[in-house]
Amino acid sequence: MIVRPQQHWFIRLFVWHGSVLQKIYSRLLLNIALSISVIFFLPWYETLGIKLTIAPFSILGVAIAIFLGFRNSACYARFNEARTLWGQLAITQRAFLREAKSLLGENKSQIRALVKLQVAFCHALRLTLRKRPVEETLKNYLTADELQWVTKSHAPCNRILLLMGDWLADKRKQGGISDVVWSSLNHHLNDLSAVAGGCERIAGTPVPFAYTLILHRTVYLFCIMLPFALVTDLHYMTPFLSVFVSYTFISLDTLAEELEEPFGTEDNDLPLDAICNAIERDLQDMDESEQLPEKLRPNRYYRLS
């Protein structure tokens, strides 16, 4: 995710990193080349007796803009829900540790074991959503037996939830917590499971492909045919107006593709590394750890992973 401070409006016109321009500039160059070719072949084009007017493109452009707006709204809703779920994850983790620490605070080793399981859950969820291996990261938080048991599952997050459930059940059997308190703490585990399920639902259910495809095809056909409608009236100004309209439509289409998958590593995706880092720092701080992990900050391009 790009985390950029407020800038002067003129400077922002030339921002490169964080915009979709770096992904679509080659397509815009092709549009400019097509527009120049249309100008070059204009005399031959006029001899064909075919003349496209701007009127149908005006109507079609409005329709495309409306549907692109709907699609971007749907994709942003997915992005916003994903961010809400990860915010809920942070809240639940803190509440879970606070309640456990208030009851078992005198046993620091047990609390430290719970902290490691909580942090492992966050990283396992992050890596699972990004379809990356979890073993290398989780070995810093789990014992060898726990790591082997977790990694052999296709759903590592569920296995870690089972480990936290076992931890909670042991404290109940030892008489450290009452049934009422156990029910309250177990409710936090259910909330963690709901967060993981919500993220998996978003990751596994994209926007219907046919809906995306028809907009994608319509946008590119519109941008290809637009210079033929503009050239008879605008002549040498055709490339300028054509690339401007193409930039608007293609950038909206590309941005929707990025927002549709909010758990990825694109510039406009959620900074899951930074969120996990913040959760780990909070939990370690609540456990009064002497060494907190270093806080992740944006790089030179204002990008937060």
pLDDT tens digit sequence for 20-57 = 888 899 999 999 999 998 888 877 766 766 677 788 88
Task: Assess if residue 68 is contained within a domain.
Answer: yes
Q: Which of 62-76, 138-152, 224-238 has the lowest mean pLDDT?
A: 224-238
* pLDDT exceeds cutoff 70 at 63: yes
Burial class (CB in 10 A: 0-12, 13-18, 19+), 41: exposed
Give the tokens for residue 234.
């605008």
Task: Assess if residue 64 is contained within a domain.
Answer: yes
Question: How many angstroms separate the CA atoms of 59 and 150, rounded?
Answer: 56
Task: Assess if residue 10 is contained within a domain.
Answer: no
Percent of the chain clearing pLDDT 70 (strictly above):
98
Structural domains of the chain, count: 1
Task: Assess if residue 9 is contained within a domain.
Answer: no
Task: Assess if residue 4 is contained within a domain.
Answer: no
pLDDT tens profile 126-179: 999 999 999 999 999 999 999 999 999 899 999 999 999 998 888 888 877 778
Task: Assess if residue 88 is contained within a domain.
Answer: yes
Domain span including residue 232: 17-42+52-286
Percent of the chain clearing pLDDT 90 (strictly above):
51
pTM, to two decimals = 0.90
Question: How many angstroms separate the CA atoms of 3 and 233, rounded?
Answer: 43
Task: Assess if residue 263 is contained within a domain.
Answer: yes
Task: Assess if residue 57 is contained within a domain.
Answer: yes
Residues 6+ apart with CB under 8 A from 270: 1, 79, 82, 83, 86, 262, 263
